[in-house]
Amino acid sequence: MLQAQDESPAAQKALEDLCRTYWRPIYGFVRREGAKPEEAKDITQGFFALILERKDFQSVRKEKGRLRSFLLASLKHFMANERRDAAALKRGGGGTLIPLDGIAEDDPSDFDRSEMLSADLLYDRKWAFTVIDRVFARLREESQASANTPLLERLNTLLSDEPDRPSQAEIGREFGMTENAVKQAFHRLRQRYRQLLREEVAQTVATPAEIEQELRHLIVALRS
């Protein structure tokens, strides 16, 4: 996030990339607050258009805030005071539009399944999943660039919570490896996963000192 806090073209691009990445938690919050899908899309686009126009991330470092909490507080203010302008902003009345890729693919029942969560908790949970998704995307990219792509892709499944994920012994038999060799390879992958997770979180906080606290918050959100 630090590189998104000056006036250079690179900073503007970084700002747009952050908005493009984290629209799902914003959209999820707006939907939980009662907006229909199309209205929620308008509000989300209008909100990001305003953020980009004002370059509001300048204030994050001053307040030593986190991008996650900063955006949520800004969104609540926007919805309370400027919601009426969201549709106009979204349709080009000001600011830069952010492509909301995959918005039509969001499962409406997701909001039913999480009906016990408040809008704030749903926002944090979707934020945490977005961070995790970015980490797995980077791991997949690295796997595809490796000579051991099939093995790494199988090891990646061990990082998930899927009930049908293979055991280390099964992967060993599949690749003609001892279980201990698989265990060592998975250990290295977990270390890389943790490194990438820290890097992703570092992009959403104002100072390195906030990384650990934000990581703990995301873990709590995932368990909610």
Element of type H or E holding 114: none
Task: Tell me what pLDDT residue 162 has.
Answer: 77
Do 126 and 106 share a structural domain? Answer: no
Quick one: average pLDDT of 64-76?
82
Start-to-end C-alpha separation, the chain: 26
In order of 24, 53, 159, 195, the CA distances from 48 in angstroms are 12, 8, 33, 29
Report whether pLDDT(199) > 90: yes
User: Do 216 and 202 share a domain, yes or no?
Assistant: yes
1 and 111 in a single domain? The answer is yes
What are the residues facing 224 on neighbouring strands?
Answer: none
- 124: pLDDT strictly greater than 80: yes
68 and 152 both lie in a single domain: no
Domain boundary among 115, 135, 158: 115
112 pLDDT higher than 80? no
Which two structure tokens, joined as six digits, stand for 92?
A: 């080009």
Residues 89 and 133 in one domain: no
* pLDDT of res. 198: 95
Last residue of a domain, one of 59, 94, 115: 115
Q: Residue 156 and residue 150: Cα distance in Å, rounded?
A: 10
Q: Which residue has better confidence, 152 or 93?
A: 152
User: What local confidence, expressed as pLDDT, does residue 125 receive?
Assistant: 93
Q: Determine the pLDDT at residue 51.
A: 79
What is the token pair recorded at 88? 């106009």
**Phi/psi at 100 (nearest 5 deg)?**
-95, 70
Last residue of a domain, one of 115, 132, 151: 115
What are the φ and ψ backbone dihedral angles of 205, each rounded to 5 degrees? -125, 160
Question: Do 156 and 224 have their domain in common?
Answer: yes
Residues 13 and 96 in one domain: yes
Q: Which residue(s) pair with 205 in the sheet?
A: 66
Residue 2 has pLDDT above 70, yes or no: no
Q: What pLDDT is recorded for position 191?
A: 95
CA distance 155 to 188: 10
Are 192 and 106 part of one and the same domain? no
Verify that 149 and 219 share a domain, yes or no.
yes
88-102, 151-165, 208-222, range with greatest mean pLDDT: 208-222
The helix (H) or strand (E) run that includes residue 178 is: none
- The SS3 call for residue 205 is strand
pLDDT attached to residue 215: 94
Structural domain harbouring 84: 1-115
Is 107 in the same domain as 66? yes
The token duo for 146 is: 């490796």
Q: What is the count of structural domains for the chain?
A: 2
